[in-house]
Amino acid sequence: MINCLGLYPLISAPSTIACTTHIVRSKQYLATQKPVNLALGYRNPHGYGFSFGSRRSIHERVSSHFKGIAVMTDDKSTMSSTEEDLENIGIFHIDPSLKPYKDHFKYRLKRYVDQKKLIEEYEGGLEEFSQGYLKFGFNREEGGIVYCEWAPAAQEAQIIGDFNGWDGSNHQMEKNQFGVWSIRIPDTDGNSAIPHNSRVKFRFRHGDGVWVDRIPAWIKYATVDPTRFAAPYDGVYWDPPLSERYQFKYPRPPKPKAPRIYEAHVGMSSFEPRINSYREFADEILPRIRANNYNTVQLMAVMEHSYYASFGYHVTNFFAVSSRSGTPEDLKYLIDKAHSLGLQVLMDVIHSHASNNVTDGLNGFDVGQTSQDSYFHTGDRGYHKLWDSRLFNYANWEVLRFLLSNLRWWLEEFKFDGFRFDGVTSMLYHHHGINIAFTGDYNEYFSEATDVDAVVYLMLANCLIHSILPDATVIAEDVSGMPGLGQPVSDGGIGFDYRLAMAIPDKWIDYLKNKNDYAWSMKEISWSLTNRRYTEKCVSYAESHDQAIVGDKTVAFLLMDEEMYSGMSSLVDASPIVERGIALQKMIHFITMALGGEGYLNFMGNEFGHPEWIDFPREGNGWSYEKCRRQWNLVDTDHLRYKFMNAFDRAMNLLDDKFSFLASTKQIVSSADDDDKVIVFERGDLIFVFNFHPENTYEGYKVGCDLPGKYRVALDSDAWEFGGRGRVGHDVDHFTSPEGIPGVPETNFNNRPNSFKVLSPARTCVAYYRVEESQEDDDNNSLVGVEETSAAADVAKIPDESASTESEDIKLDGVKETLAAADVAKIPDESAPLESEDSNLDVVKEPLAAANAEVTKISGELVSVETEGINLDKLEETIVAASVESEVVRDKPEDAAN
């Protein structure tokens, strides 16, 4: 168990703070993301101290399922930590500029400590408190079903459904002193009185005598009648027999050193204009994700939402799997399949607000009672005017139980590996970030505008998540850049593992829309990518779903526009627009990944430059699914140039697999030259050279580096395999020369003690690795093969050009990486047991069959050039080995793990 109470100092250096932006979501429309000009840095704050003002939380007696409990949220509550502990908060050692706000940190940490102590005293601890789903909602007990619901303002309550003909007169519920209604429904003739998969609702009478029907708050499944237009959702009692319950077969994969995240929406993942299913996504899309070397999948729109066009952000049923794509068992199949492929699965969790819907949402339990008797605040504080949604009262005991239990439910029942918390900015501040331009002034973060109730909830949430699953990955979507958001709770932080670097995509949109290529500033680009707080990790991304919602465009579409309809055939020469577009699309994504954070995120389809925008079915487009899908045919069609962008995306991820540069703390920008339009930097053990100049190719361009020795190409965006011109030699050794006086950085070249010279073509990025003296030439050449991963089986084939490259440059590198395609896919995890009955080794056979087909194809092509002097001995040995391994897996499935 992780101790989230200890206060341990951590000595570290000061930092910069990451910029972020925000997207406004409305039930009526989805607004495009608005760039916010931020200059968030490590600057001297204006003004000192923190005033609590006149707003105080109420010392309120609230409900508990079994006990009464006073939630003490005022500043006079007793402390379980000494004043000495609070004076020595670790975050002040990390960022000394936060010391003027010590009172604020002491106050919120005190609130957190007290709240956690009360939970331990009255509920047995945070972990037991977070198992509310074992008490609330429907739960099987010996001989019957117990149903409990918190509705303190209700005057009478019943349970109704198919099982009693929707007549609750014989199923009246009883209310305890804490506002919890309950009923025990005994079995009938040994069978459950409420059949599995039958509809149920909670009926109650509020103060004015009106009876209303609501979906139970803790319902685990909810469906809608597809034959009725605008039909309300019904709660569904989900308790399948053991024979129908999905049993997980694979363990969670190890937590990666750095997350390479594929953000996906299951519903819109089909090629066809329809809603895709969990099982189709698992069988058809997950292999694509793994083949492109991602290690993490982030699923959107999992929690039930009655309005599809909300993109899943207007949640109506927090414990229910979105029924559009299948059942809870189907989602479990998806997650287990992902784990079998070595992919972790994160859930996009929405605890910042709830749908405003009444008949099918949590909002339906708010019938005019006070905030203390409701899930939400009352009045303006309980309503988000831009999102048209309700806002939680995070100081309420039962709200804490509900939300914390919700997190545990998804972790334990469905085996999610972590979360991406949506809308964190709205939670952190009373103003919710509306019409606020955050400048980096620390007063913007630590004042009366801060919602300490929400901060305490997030601290509890992160403590709980990491206590249940120490290797969990938890990411915050925060527009403001609040200091400490990504610091451990034990150091006075809020406890997230990563924050999204939300300013980066806005910077690219600004450049692509408002600046010609000659006006691009290398200094501004490198600053935007590196401007983040020290010790607080970021997940960078060049674009996500936000950049392509209703009318806006993907990066590729901004670059190429209508030419994406007519100019993407590789059977003819590329137009200048297409050539520029593909080159910059690769560069923008690669420099964002390499320099922008400690993790990387890509939204489904952007890896191959998906055109157009995302538009969910709605009244305004005639309820069309035409733009609510992914056109996989574009990347699967061999003569279209989309395959080049997809191949480069795969190679970027494989580069990190080999060199782990994302996880490295070494990041040095040695040159950002606005005249040359070149950025040179070191990340981990690699040297990166990005030439953004539209025309200039630099021969013998001097590049600074740390260690002396011999350098070679690790990845080259201009390679033929990626739709380039093949101008950079991959078999060239670059030897370093010493620079300046040893130990005197100011005498060095760009503050680097060594340098080497390279060819840097226009609009090209190249990564170089240092060759260790002990490495064999073949080993060195195999590192070059990152670019040849474009052969990843059936997902994206090697471009035709690779077979006809100049004979002197082939050297079998592409062949080696083609044969490694099965390793790229890594299907399934060798350490996991194979599915005994239903898998039939399909997961294993498909990639191996595809790899064998690719081997046959390439070996045939290479025979035709054998007279050019290429040695096929190595190829033949690899082909034989691959065939043997394939037959072993096919003939002896029980030995596949060996």
> What is the C-alpha separation between 87 and 64, in angstroms, rounded?
34
896 backbone dihedrals φ, ψ, rounded to 5°: -60, -35
> What is the C-alpha separation between 456 and 103, in angstroms, rounded?
15
DSSP state of 576: H
Cis peptide bond prior to 708, omega within 30° of 0: no
- Displacement of CA 886 from its chain's centroid (Å): 34
- Displacement of CA 605 from its chain's centroid (Å): 15
Helices (H), 515-575: 522-530, 555-560, 563-566
Per-residue 3-state assignment (H helix, E strand, C coil) for 335-362: HHHHHHCCCEEEEEECCCCEECCCCCCH
Q: Residues near 512 by Cβ (< 8 Å), separated by ≥ 6?
A: 555, 558, 559
Instruction: Give the three-state DSSP class for 802.
Output: helix
Sequential DSSP letters for 750-768: TTBSEEEEEEE-TTEEEEE
- 295 in Cβ contact with 342 (< 8 Å): yes
End-to-end alpha-carbon separation of the chain, Å? 34
Cα angle 505-500-580, degrees, rounded to a multiple of 5: 25
> What is the C-alpha separation between 266 and 464, in angstroms, rounded?
28
- 213 in Cβ contact with 201 (< 8 Å): yes
- Displacement of CA 848 from its chain's centroid (Å): 29
- 454 in Cβ contact with 382 (< 8 Å): no
Q: What's the full length of the chain, in residues? A: 898
Which is nearest to 296 in space by CA: 733, 558, 706, 598?
A: 598
DSSP state of 122: H
Query: What b/e string do you get for 316-338 counting C-beta neighbours within 10 Å, with b at 16 or more?
Result: bbbbbbbbbbbbbbbbbbbbbbb
> So which residues are the catalytic ones?
422, 477
Sequential DSSP letters for 700-746: EEEEEESS-SEEEEEEETTSGGGTS---S-TT--EE-EE-SSTT-GG
440 backbone dihedrals φ, ψ, rounded to 5°: 105, -5
Q: Which amino acid is at 139?
A: N
Instruction: Give the three-state DSSP class for 565.
Output: helix
Place of tokens 């990955």: 473
Which is nearest to 705 in space by CA: 766, 758, 754?
A: 754
Angstrom CA distances, 353 to 110, 119, 381, 549, 554, stand at 25, 24, 12, 20, 28
Which residues sit opposite 231 in a β-bridge? Answer: none
- In 344-503, beta strands by DSSP E: 344-349, 354-355, 383-384, 389-390, 418-421, 473-476, 498-500
Instruction: Give the three-state DSSP class for 680.
Output: strand
In this structure, how many other beta carbons lie within 10 angstroms of the beta carbon of residue 96? 11
Which is nearest to 799 in space by CA: 654, 651, 610, 686?
A: 651
Long-range Cβ pairs for the range 880-888 (8 Å, 24+): 882/819, 882/822, 882/848, 882/851, 882/852, 882/855, 883/852, 885/848, 886/848, 886/849, 886/851, 886/852
